[in-house]
Chain A
Amino acid sequence: GALVYQYPRRTICKSGTSMRMECQAVGFQATSVAWYRQSPQKTFELIALSTVNSAIKYEQNFTQEKFPISHPNLSFSSMTVLNAYLEDRGLYLCGARGGQNSDYTFGSGTRLLVI
């Protein structure tokens, strides 16, 4: 079956530092990868959508300068949170799918704590 692994599961970083999180698709080719942030209130915010052979599209309030994303092949994506501050805390979820007619499969997320 289609699985998505995210690592690390949990990370703590000091305010002003950066951290990188990774997303691995297993059992299918991830032609699209969506990165979300889930706030403590449980709402999902889409950060950006990366589709093979297309530019990465960032949502309003999120920028490449703050959340650079790499999607180098059909099984892997990474995102870095640069210069993290308290408001960047949350669960970062990676969802991947194999094509326009496929559903997104989500990983378990990377929980970011900023101190």
Chain B
Amino acid sequence: GDSVTQTEGQVALSEEDFLTIHCNYSASGYPTLFWYVQYPGEGPQLLFRASRDKEKGSSRGFEATYDKGTTSFHLRKASVQESDSAVYYCALSRSTGGNNKLTFGQGTVLSVIP
């Protein structure tokens, strides 16, 4: 079945550091890829998505590029802020029989120290 793997379980950075969270997926065809962010006490919020090879998604300074060759969708941000502290989830969606279900990765806890 479909799966999403996030390499980092936890990332601790200082403000203005560069962020990379690795995401690799396994799915047939062309899934749509997503990054979600979850703050304490809230549900996951969509950051952005990408639907085709080489497409770049971006929002709030975060970005990721769909790479079908390496089946990856790594999240990057050039300069993190304390307010970016949250849990980040990579996810994919693939239409099967008219249904689109989201498959999430395990999540990466980002802690940014001021």
> B-contacting residues of A (Cβ < 8 Å)?
4, 6, 32, 34, 41-44, 46, 49, 51, 54, 57, 93, 95, 97, 100, 103-109
- Provide the B97-114 mask, 1 if CB < 8 A to any CB of A, else 0: 011111110110100000
Q: Are B104 and A51 in contact (CB under 8 A)?
A: no
With A43-B107, A44-B89: A106-B101 Cβ-Cβ less than 8 Å: no
B contact residues vs A (CB 8 Å cutoff)? 34, 41-46, 49, 87, 89, 95, 98-104, 106-107, 109
Main secondary structure of the interface of A (DSSP, over half): strand
Number of residue pairs spanning A and B whose beta carbons lie under 8 angstroms apart: 49
Which A residues are CB-close (under 8 A) to B41? 108
Neighbouring B residues of A42 by C-beta, 8 Å: 87, 106-107, 109
Q: Which residue of A lies closest to B109 (CB)?
A: A42
